[in-house]
Amino acid sequence: MEREPWLNLFLLAILCPLITEITCPNPRSFGNGEVSPHQRQYFVNDTTHYACYSGYDFRGSGTRVCQANGKWSGGTPVCGRNSDRCPDPGIPPGSTRDGNIFNIDDKVTYRCDSKLTLIGSKERICRENGQWTGTEPECYADFTYDTPEEASEGFSSSLKANLAVSQQYEGTDQHGKKIRVGKGGKLDIYIALDVSDSIDEEDFEKAKDVIKTLIEKVYDEPDDTPERITVDLEVKGIKVKDYIPHPRYDVKLKKDLGIPEYYEFDVALIQLVDPVIMGPDLRPICIPCTKEMGPDLRPICIPCTKETSGALKLSDREGTCRKHQEELMSSDTVKASFMSVTGKDIEQKLITIKQGKWRDACVEDAKKAEGITATNAKAIVTDNFLCSGGIEPTVDDIACKGDSGGATFVVPGNRLVQVLHPLCCVLMRISVLAKGVTLSQKMGAFFGNGEVSPHQRQYFVNDTTHYTCYSGYDFRGSGTRVCQANGKWSGGTPVCGRNSDRCPDPGIPPGSTRDGNIFNIDDTVTYRCDSKLTLIGSKERICRENGQWTGTEPECYADFTYDTPEEASEGFSSSLITNLGVSQQYEGTDQYGKKIRVSKGGKIDIYIALDVSDSIDEEDFEKAKDVIKTLIEKISYYEVSPNYEILIFATDVVRIVSMRDFKSGQKSDLSDILKRLQDYKYSSKGDRTGTNIALAYRSILESMQIENERNKEEFKQTQHVVIMFTDGQANMGGNPKPLVDQIKYLVQQNSPSEEQENLEMYVFGMGDDVNAGDMNDFKTDRPNEKFFFKLKTMNELQETFDEMIGIKVKDYIPHPRYDVKLKKDMGIPEYYEFDVALIQLVDPVIMGPDLRPICIPCTKETSGALKLSDREGTCRKHQEELMSSDTVKASFMSVDGNNIERKLITIKQGQWRDACVEDAKKAEGITATNAKAIVTDNFLCSGGIEPTVDDITCKGDSGGATFVVPGNRLVQVGIVSWGVKDLCKNTRKPKADSHTRDYHTNLFSAEVREFLKTYLGDGKLGTPLTFL
């Protein structure tokens, strides 16, 4: 069978996966409630949500994610009434259950769907104690497996329960598990190991090591007692499930500054595999403190939370983060404690936190630490540290090695409160303890005219939110968003609006609030971000007469928020490359809402400024030079040849090349310019190491003024681009904003019209400490465009520009029923039914004289192309118009090197189809005897030499459109899928024989149409089509 994926830019595309995709069992049998979304198959990272009908109680996981091991996250969701003796045992995904009465001795039985294996109990009986016998079943596919964490949790929770018990009585229930070894009891362990030929020798040897490890874990010494085993397991058996360090913690950050080990942001969250069993000697730190603690457990509270306000007896009005700080940390000396472990003893140590007049001396002593040579103590101990110790005004206990990581706490009244620097808990809206933006419940309230779920105080990485509108409001944006590792939500801002005003509702991005709810001409909306978040974008937007908002949609960035290379590449290239790539468009042509600003024959001047001050590391500076080199090389691929000015600045500005010199031809050779850039060393600035951003913009302004004076008309027709690489930490030269405003004014007043500003100002954040707030003023703002980028590292910035060239795929959506291995056991090694996928490109394809759109059948748009009235325009009528005869003349496009050739075929139907289908059995590797099992009605068939000699497909043609040409319009009726013979090994123009057949996915198939309608009928992937 000849087959090779091929991307056809202007047609529907298909791909042939080479490996079986992992799916999770279908949860369609969820009783007494609803599961969404409904899908035939659920792939890795697909998310499902569960809700009960009225009158039923929910338990289990309300949201589950399909994991890479073929299992759903969380526990089985159940909707029950809890009116019987036993609770509803649920219906695990992929299974069906017989039995719906749950009283004593009632039975339920389970079976798994075809191709799935039941693991657990097929039958369970309700016992008198209200518990079900047996184990909850699971349905495993061939590729399903348990993760080490699951196996460890399941095995150890059973075995260790028996090993560790010394005080429990027989029959005590521990999380639903019977403890069967009483005090003084014995435990016999039998271990069996398979060594048959079906077991590889390597696996056998590893299994022996596993058994050895297990025995060593259980018996540490020959004379172990049950009590000794208990202690060993307590000490040795703690396993970490997840470790989340602060994203800005870097112990070597200031090594070159004479601080060999630097501990700012030395904080992490550790999640254990097994929960800690609380007891009278174990006092937890609760986040947040809760009401469930018993008399033997005293919770420790985290400041800046509503729960701690309650502990401090503050009203809702009084309960602010500032008030907490006043209550707990207002004096120059604050009595506090930490816990220190010595052997088996835990002792409370007493300290005094030094503030006010006592702090400077405390911080200054940091310079006396071994190995530190830095002279600035505040570079060692920043304001993110508290300080204790010394003998004044009181003698403090001191911390020993091993105490690091323990809580420092104060005891107001009789409650423990852990004291953190205020930056660590900003009203629970931003948590620098987590790798993601975390928004308060207020974020839900700020989603106007609809609901967001789930409501949480904080949202961590991989948390998912869902949005719905109230009745009467129209939804746009992303209905589901995921908190990503870069501290940003996936997708676009969800909005519920009425669309009754001149401009659409501009939405309220997460972490922000908006003033203004009327959206007519000249109405204004203003935004601000929550505390500790920085607004990037437009603080104010105005509704224009054309129904568009001025400026850029704002975003709220935390210190740790960054743009991914994909985001930066998409945002930067969609703005800049629009200018570079246009040659045939007319001035002002609108392309998906974006104005094309360079008319045919237009000019573009690019100014690039690079920060080399001491706040930029030498390594980042060198990488930035490489980035600029890459950028210039990428731009050179386009048909517009820009003019350049490149400058490097610290206290002073050094021009690598000026705009005037470049245009005059004195220094216009790009290779020479890039060499001069590369030859500039980090040390070349000498002692002039300040950060004078204002001078850099002044230099650019002066160059622009010279160009304007020299030729005003040419200046008006020129697109001006400014690209700044800096951390924004200006410490001299004054505020750069007035100079940026002068640049904007100079270009604006010379623009052909107010609507078409010929200026784009970009800012790329460099280094670990980016002043995003100030840098927001250094850029331009326009709708649907992005001009500020903060990358995690300079390597990612390099990746950004590497991605500017080439076709980039934004999303790939295969048909849910496509399974190439579905009929392998039937003698069909590769099965291509529903071999169709949608590929969404990052950048839209630009239509031109050599690129023609193609119509999809069964849509209102194609009715227009076929000149059918609304009454006539049905799917059946389309099929009659296009596919009514026994032979249908059709075509597909074939690529040979740089040439694209149209190939002619005849689709066989009626009396010709059976012979065409029968030849499928002649394909290499197929042993099936029923041709219709290979080629179903979801395929079209072409090829052979009767009644005409058809062109045949070659490898590489798969995925191309099979189309007919009624009148002068192209209508796609199929997709090239696979062929019987590969005759193209030696030539791209082989001669057909009687059995060279090709098969095409049929777009008139009901299942294929439904798939297309799901994604193309509602605007999920571009402009929506109206399906009939």
- As a whole number of angstroms, the distance between CA 456 and CA 441 comes to 6
CA distances from 29 to 55, 77, 86, 121, 135 (A): 19, 11, 20, 18, 19
Q: State yes or no: pLDDT of 285 exceeds 50.
A: no
The reported pLDDT for the residue numbered 636 is 65
Q: What number is the average pLDDT over the span 951-975?
A: 84
- Residue 467 predicted with pLDDT over 50: yes
pLDDT at 474: 85
Determine the Cα–Cα distance for residues 93 and 68; give it in Å rounded to an integer. Answer: 16
Distance CA(499)–CA(502), nearest Å, equals 8
If you average pLDDT over residues 990-997, what whole number do you get? 83
Q: What's the gap between Cα 56 and its chain centre? A: 34
Hey, what are 462's tokens?
Answer: 């991989």
Q: Does domain 440-557 have CATH number 1.10.10.10?
A: no
Highest mean pLDDT among 17-21, 711-715, 971-975, 980-984: 971-975
End-to-end CA distance of the chain: give it in Å, rounded.
35
User: Can you tell me the mean pLDDT for 949-963?
Assistant: 85
**Which amino acid is present at 509?**
P
230-244 pLDDT, tens digit each: 333 333 345 667 778
Residue 41's pLDDT band (boundaries 50, 70, 90)?
confident
- Euclidean distance between CA atoms 144 and 126, whole angstroms: 29
Picking from 603, 597, 623, 601, the residue whose alpha carbon sits closest to that of residue 612 is 623
Q: So what's the pLDDT on residue 437?
A: 33
Q: What is the pLDDT of residue 168?
A: 33
What number does CATH give the domain 811-1017? 2.40.10.10
**For residue 433, what pLDDT is reported?**
27
Least confident of 30-39, 195-204, 667-676, 895-904: 895-904
Instruction: Measure CA 569 to chain center.
Output: 16
| Architecture of the CATH domain 602-804 | 3-Layer(aba) Sandwich (3.40)
Mean pLDDT of 404-425: 61
Tell me which amino acid residue 940 is: L
Hey, what long-range contacts does 511-517 have (CB within 8 A, 24 or more apart)? Answer: 511/429, 511/430, 511/437, 511/439, 511/443, 511/556, 512/446, 512/554, 512/556, 513/446, 514/446, 517/448
For the segment 489-530, what is each residue's pLDDT rounded down to a tens digit? Answer: 888 888 888 777 888 888 888 888 888 888 888 899 999 888
Do 440-557 and 23-148 have the same topology in CATH? yes
Confidence of residue 1000 (pLDDT cuts 50, 70, 90): very high
Tokens for 201, please give them: 């020798």
The alpha carbon of residue 269 and the mean position of all alpha carbons in its chain are separated, in whole angstroms, by 21
pLDDT of residue 173: 35
Binned at pLDDT 50, 70 and 90, residue 363 comes out as very high
Find out whether 483 and 459 touch, Cβ atoms under 8 Å: yes
User: pLDDT tens digits, residue range 611-638?
Assistant: 888 888 888 888 888 888 877 876 765 5
Say how far apart CA 538 and CA 553 lie, in whole Å.
Answer: 6
Look at 774 and 565; give whichever has higher pLDDT: 774
Q: Please give the pLDDT value at position 573.
A: 56
Using CA atoms, how far apart are residues 324 and 305, in angstroms rounded to an integer? 9
What are the b/e assignments for 225-242, b being 16+ CB within 10 Å? ebeebbebbeeeeeeeee
What number does CATH give the domain 23-148?
A: 2.10.70.10
The pLDDT confidence band at residue 465, using thresholds 50, 70 and 90, is confident
Percent of the chain with pLDDT over 90: 13
pLDDT confidence tier of residue 802, bands split at 50, 70 and 90: low
Among 242-256, 365-379, 472-486, 787-801, name the one with the lowest average pLDDT: 787-801
Assess contact for 818 and 988: CB atoms under 8 A.
no
More confident site: 852 or 409: 409
In tens, the pLDDT along 181-199 reads 443 456 778 888 888 888 8
Sequence-distant (≥ 6) Cβ neighbours of residue 623 within 8 angstroms? 794, 795, 797, 798
Using one digit for the tens of pLDDT, what is the confidence trace for 891-904? 998 876 556 788 89
Annotated domain spans of the chain: 23-148, 440-557, 602-804, 811-1017
State the Cα–Cα distance between residues 1005 and 974, nearest whole angstrom: 10
What values do phi and psi take at 228, rounded to 5?
-65, -40
Number of C-beta neighbours around residue 770 at 10 A: 24
CA distance 992 to 983: 8
Contacts of residue 989, Cβ cutoff 8 Å, sequence gap at least 6: none
Between 152-156, 320-324, 405-409, 461-465, the lowest mean confidence (pLDDT) is in 152-156
Q: Is the pTM of this model over 0.95?
A: no
